[in-house]
Each structure stands twice: as C-alpha cells, then as structure tokens.
Amino acid sequence: MASVDPVLLIDVGNTNIKVGLAVLGSIRSSYVLPSSLTETADTLGLKITDICRHEQISPKAVSAWMVSSVVPPLDSAVRRAGEKFSDCPVYFVPDSLEVPLQNAYDNPSEVGADRLVTAYAARELFSSPGLLVVDFGTATTLECIQDWQYLGGLICPGIFSSLQALGGQTSKLPRISLELDSSDLIIGRNTATSMSHGFIYGFAAMIDGLCHRLQGLLRGEITVVGTGGYAARVQPVSACLQEVRPDLLMQGLLLMYGFLEEGRTAGEQRR
C-alpha cells in the first residue's frame, strides 16, 4: 500500500539538486535548484520549506527524505536539513539502503549513486532481459543491465557541459537553447542552427553508435531507455532510443522507499 504521507526525493548532482515530491505512491511535482558547495543545512532546509509551502504541505508532514548524492561535501548539510526542517529520517541510497541489483563493477563503491538508482528503476519498469539506460545529465552515461545484474557502462561528455565548455573558449558563439527548427538534419547557415543541429544530431549519432555496439554484449531482447533533461530532444533523431523516462532516478528513489514500507531487508531483496 502506498504511503499516505509525502516523501521527498532528492538527487544531489554536480550541476543541480533536483527535488521531487511523492504523494500516495506517485511523483506529484519536481523542482530544480542549483548545486553549490556553499549550501548549508539552513539554506537548503529553507528552500525545501518554500517548496513544501508552494505544494501546500508542511515540511513536518514529510515521512522521509530519499537521497541520491554524487557530491559528498553536501551530504552532511542534506542530512541535517532533513532532520531539522522535516524531523524525519534521511536515507542515502545506496549507503543507507542497498539497491537490489547485483553490482558487477570491479570496485562497486565507485559506481555513482545516480547511476545505480537509475539502473534499478529501469529494471523494475521494463521486462526485457537486457537494458541500456542512457542518462543525459552533466555527463552522458550508458548503463548496461542484464537481468538483475548491473554490469557497468560508459561515461561520455554531457550535452550541456560540452556546450558550456565550447562557449567558454569561443567568444563569438551565441547562447542557444538547442531547439531544432527542422525535423531533418540540415546544413546550418547561421551559428545557432549549426550548433543546435551539430549538438543534437551529433550526440544522437554517438549514442546510436555506442548502443549498437553494446547491444552485442547483452543477451535476449534489449530495451534502450533515455532519461535526463535532454533525452526528449535527442529521441526524435535517434535510431536507438525506444523509451524516454525523464524522471527515472526519482522513480528509483520512490521504489527504494517502497522497501522501507514493506519492511524488506537487504537479505530478502531479489537478485
């Protein structure tokens, strides 16, 4: 049975902190805050309080904070903010709760929490034996899942970080939104069009090529899932992206909260 009390789902990334609010077992809304190492428990807690106020709930009504973090210096502030402003447990996945996937990485602790939680969400949501999850985040990552085993993956440059790097080195390049003005690849006759088509089609070609090669390393039927902010922009020009689930990581955190409700321990988790 889904929890009646709200749950906060928090993804602490290198660029943004994403905050999702789950009610009655589904994600009702989400917000994006900039990541900053100057964040304190109080500044973060006050921002969360504002989000709760906007959603017309009390921070004290929240039953738990479910956190995925790849920024260890912020972990303490996040934990203290949850305990102070919501007076509830703060669970870091996978440190507080083991993700129910067999982790085949050479050093399992090297896998970013976001990568593991996203892979787990895809495993729960899609039935094909093989899965490729492409996450268009600060970095573009490709995760390989075979049955209930996380095999590892690839880490490539991210679209937005690449755009920032290019713009920072080239003063004449304009700031663009990476919106395509044509459904087909065209020869750019202005800088904005050249960059938009170059980035979107370029990253689509990279993903298609890598997925084609990785599919040969997995067994059985394979589903390729895109997630992250740019997945929906790349999918229309990609030959491999079959599904887009922008909130896959949030879904994974919510699924992990289900383990708490059901009282399941790591030893009881499915492999």
Calpha distance 210→149 (Å, rounded): 20
Contact 160, 167 (CB under 8 A): no
Q: Indicate the pairing of strand 102-103 with strand 130-136.
A: unpaired
- The candidate with the shortest Cα–Cα distance to 117, out of 214, 13, 6, is 13
Structure tokens at 261: 């409700």
Return the ∠ at Cα 13 (arms to 270 and 137), rounded to 5°: 85
Please confirm, yes or no, whether 114 is among the known catalytic residues.
yes
Residue 185, Cβ density class (10 Å: 0-12 exposed, 13-18 middle, ≥19 buried): middle
Calpha distance 130→145 (Å, rounded): 6
Q: Go through 68-106 and write b for each residue having 16 or more CB atoms within 10 A of its CB, e for each that does not.
A: bbbbeebbebbbbbbeebbebebbbbbeebbbbbebeee
Residue 94, preceding peptide bond in cis (omega within 30° of 0): yes
Contact 11, 250 (CB under 8 A): yes
Query: Which distant-in-sequence residues (6+ apart) come within 8 Å of 87 by Cβ?
Result: 60
Among the listed residues 114, 147, 181, 208, the single catalytic one is: 114
Annotated catalytic residues are 114
